[in-house]
Amino acid sequence: KAGVTQTPRYLIKTRGQQVTLSCSPISGHRSVSWYQQTPGQGLQFLFEYFSETQRNKGNFPGRFSGRQFSNSRSEMNVSTLELGDSALYLCASSLEGLADSYNEQFFGPGTRLTVL
Amino acid sequence: GNSVTQMEGPVTLSEEAFLTINCTYTATGYPSLFWYVQYPGEGLQLLLKATKADDKGSNKGFEATYRKETTSFHLEKGSVQVSDSAVYFCALSLRSFQKLVFGTGTRLLVSP
């Protein structure tokens, strides 16, 4: 079974631009979560989607948004990029994502975004 | 709030040495606890987990025991290998859907 795939793997943008990152979960997985990893802030939760609905959101500004499609693939968008948005963006998928239970999350390799 | 505190790295060991990476947590409620490992240029891999107090998670020679009384989940391995060199993250989940709260990570360097 193929793992979580993220595209592109590397991206270079300039301040003020916007960017869209894509995540394809493991086949059959319906929950997709996004995390930002930076040297200064570590790993921080961005949001989680299940059945095309955002169920949980971290403490990030509105410039960060996401969506999930009917095939469970997910995209995240960052508008008006800032230098501080340079990070590794990780996507994780899990089987059911039921509330009040834990389902193992499988992480993709990440997209390395550099903002110049 | 909910948080995880890990020991600062890097931890530098010789091959076959004993490893301990400390992890303590603060949480409202009863979290599940995890150790993830990140190899260079890769995403995170779940190393082991424990879902309730006194559970012991184990995998690939690594172990960690969920200690509710000390709010800890220390990672141990009896004999490390060069291939264990990576960054290790302690994390918790309060089953708030799929949100994980991570520690800052501890880099482990194992020399031959």
Tens-digit pLDDT profile for residues A76-116? 999 999 999 999 999 999 887 565 556 788 999 999 999 99
| Cβ(A93)–Cβ(A105) below 8 Å | yes
Q: Which residue of A has its CA nearest to B50?
A: A102
Mean pLDDT, all residues of chain A: 92
Residues B46-68 have a mean pLDDT of 95
What pLDDT is attached to residue B8?
A: 84
Average pLDDT over residues A12-25: 97
pLDDT band at B99 (very low <50, low <70, confident <90, very high): confident
User: Which residues 6+ apart lie within 8 Å of A98 measured at CB?
Assistant: none
Nearest to A105 by CA among B19, B2, B28, B43: B43
Is A27:A4 a contact under the CB 8 Å cutoff? no
Query: Number of C-alpha atoms within 13 angstroms, CB side, residue A96?
Result: 7
pLDDT of residue B28: 85
Mean pLDDT, range B41-70, rounded to an integer:
94
Distance CA B42, CA B38 (A): 6
User: Which of B98, B100, B101, B106 is the best substitution to test chain A (most A C-beta atoms within 10 A)?
Assistant: B98
Query: What is the nearest CA distance from B49 to chain A, expressed in angstroms?
Result: 9
Percent of chain A with pLDDT over 70: 94
**What integer pLDDT is reported at residue A101 of this predicted model?**
58
HSE of A88, CA atoms in CB hemisphere, 13 A: 19
Nearest-CB residue to B89 (from A43, A55, A92): A43
Q: What is the 3-state secondary structure (H, E, C) of chain A?
A: CCCCEEECCEEEECCCCCEEEEEECCCCCCEEEEEEEECCCEEEEEEEEECCEEEEECCCCCCEEEEECCCCCEEEEECCCCHHHCEEEEEEEECCCCCCCCCCCEECCCEEEEEC
Residue B95 pLDDT = 67
Q: Do A107 and B93 touch (CB under 8 A)?
A: no
Residue A34: its pLDDT value, please? 97
Residues of B contacting chain A (CB within 8 angstroms): 32, 36, 41-46, 49, 51, 89, 91, 93, 95-105
Residue B81 pLDDT > 60: yes
For residue B99, give the nearest of A42, A45, A90 by CB distance. A45
Chain centre to alpha carbon of residue A13: 17
pLDDT for residue A104: 81
Average pLDDT over all residues of chain B: 93
Give the pLDDT of residue A102: 64
A56 → closest Cβ in B32, B46, B96: B96
A103–B98 C-beta distance less than 8 A: yes
Q: Across residues B1-5, what is the average pLDDT?
A: 91
Two tokens at A50?
Answer: 């299940």
